[in-house]
Structure 1
Amino acid sequence: MAKGAVVIEILNRLVDEIEVRLGDEVDVDAFAAGMGTTGYHARRMFSSLAGMPLSEYVRRRRMTVAAADVIGDEDLLTIAVRYGYGSTEAFGRAFLAVHGVSHRAVRRDGGPLRSQPKLRFRLTVEGSVPMDARITQRTQFRLIGHAARVPLIHEGVNPHIQAHIQALPAEAHARLKQLSSAEPPGLLQVSADVDPDAAEGSDLTYLHGVAVTAETPVPDDLDAIEVPAGAWAVFRTTGPHPEALQSAWAATATEWFPSNPWLLRPGPSIVAIIDRAADLSTATCELWLPVERG
């Protein structure tokens, strides 16, 4: 179901559902299931297309609408509860984060206020450049290597990941290469435990490692991520690094997923660098994303 205009319809209906229930938590998983998709996929597509996490959009819309109530003389706790907050303190923090000014200042001065318009997604014709992708089925396998918790950064080099890799001695990289025994081949950049909203700044597990068979023992000094059997969409990119890779990642949401009968499923995303310049200014990469039939 989740193809092209249907993806857009799902997201627009989700926006409408949020709008009529600003004071309640929308059960995104139940809503998505009723639309023939998954909550995980809906959140990831919303974040990629809207440029903000679904949770952030909900907060902005709540505070945009709540501002009109704050300007009046209604009790602040009553207003806070109306928009899903249990105290004026919690409501005040959210209000300040969105508007950049306290609700008490707005009640006194009438502003300034920042407005989040209701989103409306539209389908535009893209895809003038074909995406090099393939679908592969994998049995259960294991990712092993050196892991760290780092913040998610959408554009440019992630300095936290860069520091993690540079802190590893040369012999650690050589040892990992020798341990590689399954696809994707070679040294891998693995992102796991990513927030479904993919909010910039949220923590994820980054693993610098390799793929091995499910039966391969894990050395005591290495971390491991167990990867269940399933389908993977594999995208090949060539060009400036990491810009070409990040552009392809964004295009999976705007072009590839809306045009194909596959949904993102929970699991690690994997980048394999197939070829690279000595200074890593350009590279040929494979981006592996876990998927399931829609």
Structure 2
Amino acid sequence: MDWLQRMNLAIDYIEDNLDQDIDYEQIARVALCSVYQFQRMFSFVLGMPLSEYIRRRRLTLAAFDLQDRKNRVTDIALKYGYETPESFSRAFHNLHGLTPTSARQAGSQLRAYPRLSFQITLKGVVEMIYRIEEREAFQVFGLEDVYGMDTIANHEGISIPEVWQNISNNGEFDRLEQSIIGDWRAEGHFGQELGAVFAFDSYKVTSNTTFPYLIGCYKSAQSKVEGYTVVDVPASSWAVFSTLNDGNGSGKYDLSALRNRIFSEWLQTSKYNIIDGGNFEMYCTNQDGYEYCELWYRIEEK
């Protein structure tokens, strides 16, 4: 079964259960991947979280149900998973711009979000820069936190970009960088263009709605890791994708677009599957001072 079939079967399950509890574990079983991987693939390809798609589809169907005045608002709210008419009314207004009662009136303008379908499209005009690397097990260390998949924020409501800005301003970034001792690039067999501090995420299961994210460094034999979280990176094959052709050299590149292409183009046509166990976001500067990023994904052959 190919990637498109698996994704469409997962959508079939979601659509068949919009008026019931949707089991994310069952979605993952249908798609032959983990809950985490399905949510990541979905958000990278569609540009929205899975939960947002489900919310929009439920409220689209709720609007159709409201056209039949025999359906009570309370019953419609319960049908689509809202515990009270008030919570349903708020969600409905946020999406459609009017209340459920107003939606019954003739001429009301409502928003409809159609059922999703994954299809083959003609792409591939622009090349993708990637390589496959085989690496032995190693360790990384750094500042760890857990973030929500929908919000990309921690329990304090601070987003990942804000965390990067905060550690840059308070000196923690510099302290982390100075904790590496020795020629860590040679020890870790990394290229000279790689920056000392990078991001590593999704290396363990926290929950179906969260993921761990570590701002850290390669752990050399002499690194000072006291006060930091140390994470084991297993021996793996890695697919490495680069933004080297993207941006203008100032570090302004579109990682969202690259991730979309990885999951919607490369993954469909390659002989590999992306697997759980951690992903890297490496920040690099080449000899010409050109800033770019590399995305590292653990892979296995299909």
User: What CA distance in whole angstroms lies between the structure 1 residues aligned with 2:163 and 2:176?
Assistant: 18
Deviation at 1:173, TM superposition (A): 5.0
Q: What is residue 284 of structure 2 aligned with on the other side?
A: 274
**What is the letter of the counterpart of residue 192 of structure 1?**
D
Whether contact under 8 Å (1:145, 1:224) holds in the other structure is: yes
Q: Is the 8 A contact 2:167 2:173 kept in 1?
A: no
Q: Deviations over 1:185-237 (max 9, x none)?
A: 6413214259x9xxxxx976553321226x88863222333434433221233
Alignment partner, residue 167 of structure 2: 164
Distance between the aligned counterparts of 2:90 and 2:240, measured in 1? 42
RMSD: 3.6
Give the total of aligned pairs. 279
Equivalent of 1:188 in 197, 202, 213: 197
* Aligned with 1:207 (options 214, 223, 229): 214
Partner of 2:64: 68
Specify the SS of the correspondent of 2:114: coil
Question: In structure 2, which of residues 104, 108, 111 is the aligned counterpart of residue 111 of structure 1?
Answer: 108
Contact 2:144 2:214 in 1 (8 A): yes
Judging changes above 3 Å, is the alpha-carbon distance between structure 1 residues 183 and 106 closer, same or farther for their aligned structure 2 residues? farther
Q: Distance in 2 between matches of 1:293 and 1:42?
A: 18
Which amino acid in the other structure matches residue 9 of structure 1?
Answer: Q
Question: Greater relative contact order (Cα 8 A, min sep 6): structure 1 or 2?
Answer: 1
Q: Which amino acid aligns with 1:67?
A: A
Matched, 1:8 2:11: no
Partner Cα distance (1:158, 1:293) in 2: 33
Cα distance in 1 for partners of 2:28, 2:211 equals: 24
Matches for 1:74-223 after TM superposition, within 5 Å = 74-107=71-104, 111-147=108-144, 152=152, 158-168=161-171, 171-172=174-175, 174-178=177-181, 180=184, 181-182=187-188, 186-193=195-202, 206-212=213-219, 219-223=225-229
- The answer as to whether partners of 2:237 and 2:300 remain within 8 angstroms in 1 is yes
- Deviation at residue 247 of structure 1 after TM alignment: 3.4
Counterpart AA for 1:96? H
Cα displacement string for residues 40-75 of structure 1 (whole angstroms, at most 9, x for unaligned residues): 333322222222122211111111011122342422
- In structure 2, the partner of 1:252 is 262
Range 254-263 or range 142-151, more displaced: 142-151
Per-residue CA deviations over 1:122-157 (Å, capped at 9, x if unaligned) read 21122233322223344443221234567649xxx9
Contact kept in structure 2, 1:145 and 1:176, CA below 8 Å: no
Partner of 2:26: 30
Q: How many Å separate the matches in 2 of 1:229 and 1:140?
A: 4
Distance 2:56 2:112 in 1: 8
Paired residue secondary structure (2:297): strand
Aligned to 1:97, the other structure's residue is in SS state: helix
Distance 1:147 1:183, change over 3 A: farther
Q: Is the 8 A contact 2:198 2:281 kept in 1?
A: yes
TM superposition score normalised by structure 2? 0.75
Structure 1: runs of 5 or more not aligned = 197-201
**Is the contact between residue 140 and residue 228 of structure 1 (CA under 8 Å) also seen in structure 2?**
yes
Unaligned runs of 5+ in 2: 154-159
Matched, 1:45 2:41: yes
- SS at 2:179's partner residue? helix
Moved more, 144-153 or 251-260: 144-153
Give, as a single letter, the amino acid of the residue that structure 2 aligns with 1:225.
V
Give the Cα separation in 1 of the matches to 2:145 and 2:22: 33
Report the Cα distance in structure 1 between the residues aligned to 2:172 and 2:15, rounded to whole angstroms.
52
The 8 Å contact of residues 176 and 209 in structure 1, kept in 2 or not, is answered as no
Moved more, 12-21 or 108-117: 108-117
Aligned to 2:299: 291
Q: Distance in 1 between matches of 2:86 and 2:114?
A: 25
Once residues 195 and 59 of structure 2 are traced to their aligned partners in structure 1, the CA distance between those partners, rounded to angstroms, is: 48
Equivalent residues of 1:187, 1:208 under 8 A apart: no
Check conservation: 2:239, 2:298, Cα contact below 8 A. yes
